[in-house]
Amino acid sequence: MLTKSPSDSAQFSFFDIINQLDDTHPLLALSRAIDWQALELEFSPLYSAIGRKAKPIRLMTGLLMLKQLYDLSDEAIVEQWQMNPYYQAFCGETHFQTTPPCHSTELVKFRQRLGKEGVNRLFALSVALHGEAAEEPVVLVDTTVQEKAITYPTDSKLAI
């Protein structure tokens, strides 16, 4: 069962963060550039109308984006989200939350729910946000192989 996004529901929380954060911060600018409603429309059919309430799609997709953006593990992104008001605002929270958004295993289950196509959709969205700047004119590939410092029995220095 799908729940509403944090910005659509009443929250009992610590303090309002939207008015206290720097509006020019890159994460806030990125959150304004993303079409969250389109993501919710695309991924909402993956949820059932019965059962336990699920975490909001914006929260979960935001956590996955932050995880990739800052190269964090599932456990680390959940911990960082709890401490960073910019992460919370990026994921749609309007008030500072003092509890973790979810357990780290819920991110694994959300990725499984999205499947390969859904994860590719999130990646395509991040590339589309950058437009032409995302494409490199030249791709450099390093094919250098470093030999290991292994002494073989046939080496002449072993015979001496």
Position 7, amino acid: S
pLDDT for 127: 75
- In the three-class reduction of DSSP (H, G, I as helix; E, B as strand; rest coil), residue 56 is classed as coil
Q: How far apart are CA 88 and CA 110, in angstroms?
A: 18
Nearest Cα to 104, choosing from 67, 65, 58? 67
Q: What is the pLDDT of residue 155?
A: 61
**Residue 12 has what pLDDT?**
47
Element spanning 124, H or E: helix 104-130
Please, what is the Cα angle at 68 between 45 and 96, to 5 degrees?
Answer: 75
Instruction: State pLDDT tens for residues 44-87.
Output: 998 888 888 889 999 999 999 999 889 899 999 999 999 999 99
State which residues of the chain have pLDDT below 70: 1, 3-15, 130-135, 143, 146, 149-160
Q: Where are the domains of the chain?
A: 17-130
* CA–CA distance, 7 with 9 (Å, rounded to integer): 6
